[in-house]
Amino acid sequence: MITEAVVSYIKMRRTCGFAFESEGACLQRFAAFSAAKGQHHVRSDVAMEWAVQARSAPARARRLGIVIRFARYARAEDTRHELPLAVLGAEKAPRPVPYIYSQDDIRRLLRVLSQSGYRTLRRATYVTLFGLLACTGLRLSEALHLRYSDITADGLVIRRTKFRKSRLVPLHETARAALERYLEQRRAYAPLDDHVFISLRRKPLLVADAERTLRTAARKIGLRRESGQPRPTIHALRHTFAVRALEACPDDRDRISQHMVALSTYLGHSHVAHTYWYLDATPQLMTDISERCERFVAGGRS
């Protein structure tokens, strides 16, 4: 029966360490749809009929992809399950070109933040938060979840990651000094809360507040989104960190591979391919790639 097979599949994926929440719910809806059609095994036509009900092309492809992966598992035990063909295209839309801040952009952002609003902890909070994001490439959620105990002599311990993996993020001595200066102010402000970044309400800083503050500061310094172009966001600070790190990559094939793996680990990417995506983010990186390819073809050093 398809319902029992779905339950078994979800349990197997979660046992392997996957959260499998949205995918599991999706398969349960498919099982209910199939049962309503009087089908107790995966049928290609039923899977297609269910998948095309999604609103967007990537969502339709994703629905079908989830069923296909489940069908491969189910067929190992029962060959009556059909294996639908992946005929609805890619499951994910192409990743957009990221916005990349210049060093001057970041300096001006921090300057305007240091002068905005009343002379309260708010200024120090946002200057330190955005400065930390710019120099470490942390996700905003990772920074907002930081506790005092996560600041160690070796760096920041990132415990609540996007993919449930912990990692250590080393800090430059200047970043560590700036963080310590902020904490000296912050500890007396809300001593009962051990979150590093807090609001004037003496509660953990909210994502929406941070995003609103960045948008306001970006407008003040004239960073505006052109039609059809990426816009300056908090996450763009992470993109910028990754791109600058790649621009500093050593000019040697073996060292490039090591650099990419190290950067992927540092950023907490689930797969190194997500790090390679940044290679086409700026004209400088594309020029570097082109020049190295030319040297390789010519028989020179790559």
Residue of 123, 235, 259, 292 marked catalytic: 235
Asked if 45 and 109 count as a contact pair (C-beta separation under 8 A), the reply is no
Residue of 60, 63, 81, 139 marked catalytic: 139
Query: Is residue 62 among the annotated active site residues?
Result: no
Query: Is residue 269 among the annotated active site residues?
Result: yes
Query: Is residue 165 among the annotated active site residues?
Result: no
Identity of the amino acid at 107: R
E-assigned strands of the chain?
Answer: 151-152, 155-158, 167-169
Structure tokens that stand for 16 in this block: 């392997």
Residue of 37, 80, 107, 162 marked catalytic: 162
- Phi and psi torsions of 260, nearest 5°: -65, -45
Residue of 9, 126, 182, 278 marked catalytic: 278
Q: What is the 3-state composition of the chain as percent helix, strand, coil, each rounded to the nearest 5?
A: 60, 5, 35
Residue of 238, 239, 244, 266 marked catalytic: 238
What dihedral angle (degrees, nearest 10) is formed by the CA atoms of 104, 110, 115, 121?
A: -170
Asked if 144 and 197 count as a contact pair (C-beta separation under 8 A), the reply is yes
Query: Is residue 225 among the annotated active site residues?
Result: no
- Residues carrying an active site annotation: 139, 162, 235, 238, 269, 278
